[in-house]
Structure 1
Amino acid sequence: MATILDSVNQRTQLVGENRLELLIFRLNSQQLFAINVFKVREVVKVPHLNSLPGSHINVKGVASIRGVSIPVIDLRTSIGMKETGINELSNLIVTEYNGSVQAFLVGQVMNIVNMTWKDIQPPPDQVGKNNYLTAICEIHRDNQKQLVGIIDVEKVLANIIDYNIKISDELLNRDISQHLQGHKILIVDDSPTARNQIKSTLAQIGIEVFEANNGQQAYNLLDQWCNEGKTVTDEILMMFTDAEMPEMDGYRLTHKIRHDPRMSNLYITLNTSLSGSFNEAMTVKVGCNKFISKFQPDLIVEVVHNRMMEKLAEQTP
């Protein structure tokens, strides 16, 4: 199965072209699920799992893979599906999110499909706020269309890992903090969990937020302000955007903003769980001002502080 991902490094050029590739798999039913290939390190058969006493109920143990101990998470129970026996979950998808490596127990791993973000849609409102999907899409398989649910891995991990949103006292006590009260920031992310993490962090320094679920929604908001005669940089101090989102990804969003003279000077920080030098290169290519990996509260605040200092300097005669 690892051979499915042999060419992942060559596929990364799809990111930034409003395209993505999804790794399709099953859990314990006929329903299909997916995660972005770009976050996948490899797929392997389930090895021996060492127990981890006191761990979260959804952590089934630790696997030694290529000499590295990796926690193994039952993705089926993590998204609220019924547990019907670990033997049905025969594969591990080893992933990297926010600088951490973990493996997800899954059933049959199907294949990789090439998609455009325009074909990826948010889940219907009727599914409720407690679902574990960031998006859905349709693929053609066995001469018919099949629905695929794209897992909100941010939410799965947040339920297991205790992310600390506390900001260090040193940052809170900086003189620049007094200038932040009442300023607004636009947060663009398809994961409600990720948006809430950033929002809770910024609330500690008096920042208010606008939220958008995807790049298209964010651009529509900015475009509306411009059409109303408003100056975008007066409405918001800056924007944090994820990379992967339905309808329009963060790279395409940044590209459109930079090529729209009405809003081209907006300060944009790419804030994504896709880490590594590739994102740093993409940041330069599309024109982001900054790239940071999720989830680092102090670093988020440092970026806001630096942007505020730049804005104050711009206003000084």
Structure 2
Amino acid sequence: MDTFQQEIDERTNLTANNKFELLLFRLGTDPHGERSELFGINVFKIREIVPMLTINKPAGTQSPMLGVVNIRDQIISVIDLPAVVGCVPKTGLNILLVTEYARSTQAFAVESVEEIVRLEWSNVLSAESSAGGNFVTSIARLDDDKDNTRLAQVLDVEQILHEIMPKDRNFKVDSLDDLIQRAVKPGAVVIAADDSKVARNLIEKGLQELRINFEMYKTGKEAWERVQFLSQQARAARVPITDKISFVLTDLEMPEMDGFTFTRNIKNEDFLKNIPVIIHSSLTGSANEDHVKKVGADAYVAKFDITEMGQTIGEILRTIIARTERA
């Protein structure tokens, strides 16, 4: 097996221990030139890192879009990331981070790349406001010194893309009223978890439109604690967990506990394992989607394919009905 494949396998195996790798980079100083913040993106989403290329600027291109580049015969849009978060590069835009989000490819121009660090998700704390404004989803502690640790701001790239390159995200799905009435127990809720504000808004809108009761959480840890609490209630009442939880809809990348660990926790416990789990993630690609199956998830939906989400929820409800009829 070559070194490249070994690196992929090693990074994939990190998810078994609630760990991940973060690419650290800089965008310049704040508008007052007082400090240079560290920012980060999950390495899983980085396709490649290349020196700045010649950018073609089509007519009508406006900031923060810089134009497009040609990388191996693929035309890729380039986004001025410092302009997005309000930083001023001191040495210019020198590096392109080519990323894959939700089955789309784009490049982010940054000032410099620092290093790749391996972290536990427990060292990543939810934070939706900081120097990066609305585009920072969490803060990562880069070492174990809690008093003097280096910090990096993890960008909410989903929010950035949503605002810069908006798409039609209206929830389009055939009525599921009959399936919901047959599959969802009265009083049962969907447990949903996502650290991205735009994703939470989308999920909330979709579940409200389907008239499915839900509870929304920002981290896998919060969602898991709620599942455990409802499990205790169900055990005390001597009813199945499906009387309390209809299904789980979770992101993969979340502070404190990732979706891989959250899903494994559910599927590894006999009392909980029949809860259907749908992964809703921008971590696309065959390797990631295959890994989702290995942790026991029942379905995978790429962000932000709204039609696919509705169809998947329908399939999960049919599965619940079939399981109930067999019991």
Q: Indicate the SS of the match to 2:142.
A: strand
Q: Do the aligned residues in 1 keep the contact of 2:123 with 2:140 (CA within 8 Å)?
A: yes
After superposition, residues 31-42 of structure 1 pair within 5 angstroms as: 31-42=37-48
Tell me if the contact between 2:220 and 2:256 (Cα under 8 Å) persists in the aligned partners.
yes
Amino acid at match of 2:285: G
Give the number of aligned pairs: 307
Q: Which residue of 2 aligns with 1:248?
A: 257
Cα distance, 1:145 vs structure 2: 3.2
Report the CA distance between 1:283 and its aligned residue.
2.3
Instruction: Kindly indicate whether the alpha-carbon contact (under 8 Å) linking 1:16 and 1:249 is maintained by their aligned counterparts in 2.
Output: no
Aligned match for 1:262, one of 271, 286, 289: 271
What are the superposed Cα offsets for residues 178-219 of structure 1, whole Å, 9 maximum, x if unpaired? 768986322111112111112222222222321111111111
Q: 2:149 aligns with which of 136, 145, 150?
A: 145
d(CA) in 1 for partners of 2:131, 2:197 = 12
Native 8 Å contact 1:198 1:297 kept in 2: no
CA 1:208–1:49 in 2, change beyond 3 Å: closer, same or farther? same
- CA deviation map 1:47-87 (0-9, x unaligned): 111113334531111111122111001111222x14568x6
Equivalent positions of 1:59-74 (< 5 A) are 59-74=65-80
Partner Cα distance (1:120, 1:166) in 2: 31
Per the alignment, residue 216 of structure 2 pairs with: 211
- The superposition leaves residues 229-279 of structure 1 with CA deviations (integer Å, 9 ceiling, x where unpaired) of 364322232111111111111111111111222322100011111112222
Cα distance in 1 for partners of 2:175, 2:7 equals: 41
Aligned partners of 2:291, 2:227: CA distance in 1, in Å?
22
Q: Which amino acid aligns with 1:135?
A: S
Give the Cα separation in 1 of the matches to 2:172 and 2:229: 37
Match of 2:84 in 1: 78
User: Residues of 2 paired with 1:176 and 1:135: CA distance?
Assistant: 37
Paired residue for 1:95?
Answer: 99
RMSD: 2.8
Note if contact 1:239-1:267 (Cα within 8 Å) is conserved in structure 2.
yes
Alignment partner for residue 161 of structure 1, among 153, 165, 169?
Answer: 165
Mapped partners of 1:209, 1:287: distance in 2: 22
* Distance change >3 Å, CA 298–CA 33, structure 1 → 2: same
Aligned to 1:15: 15
Q: Which residue of the partner structure matches residue 225 of structure 1?
A: 230
Do the aligned partners of residues 69 and 17 (structure 1) sit closer, same or farther apart at CA in structure 2, a change above 3 Å counting? same
Query: What is the one-letter code of the residue matched to 2:314?
Result: H
The TM-score normalised by the length of structure 2 is 0.84
Q: 3-state SS of the aligned residue for 2:70?
A: strand
Does structure 1 residue 274 correspond to structure 2 residue 283?
yes
Identity %: 31
Distance 1:234 1:129, change over 3 A: farther
Q: Please give the secondary structure, in 2, of the residue aligned with 1:299.
A: helix
Secondary structure of the equivalent of 1:44? strand
2:59 paired with 1:53: yes
CA distance in structure 2 between the partners assigned to 1:6 and 1:53 by the alignment? 41
1:127–1:179 Cα change, 3 Å: farther
Indicate yes or no: 2:311 matched with 1:302. Answer: yes
Equivalent residue in structure 1 for 2:296, among 287, 295, 298: 287
Q: Is the 8 A contact 2:97 2:107 kept in 1?
A: yes
Q: 2:322 corresponds to which letter in structure 1? A: A
Contact 2:136 2:153 in 1 (8 A): yes
More deviation, 241-250/228-237: 228-237
SS at the partner of 2:149? Answer: strand
2:183/2:321 contact within 8 Å kept = no
1:284-307 deviation per Cα after TM superposition (whole angstroms, max 9, x unaligned): 221111122111111111111112
More displaced stretch, 205-214 vs 249-258: 205-214
**Aligned with 2:204 (options 199, 204, 210):** 199
Q: Distance in 2 between matches of 1:129 and 1:221?
A: 30
- Deviation digits for residues 128-151 of structure 1 (CA, Å, limit 9, x no counterpart): 99521121122259xx73211011
Unmatched 5+ stretches in structure 2 = 30-35
Partner SS, residue 260 of structure 2: helix
Tell me if structure 1 keeps the 8 A contact 2:129–2:136.
no
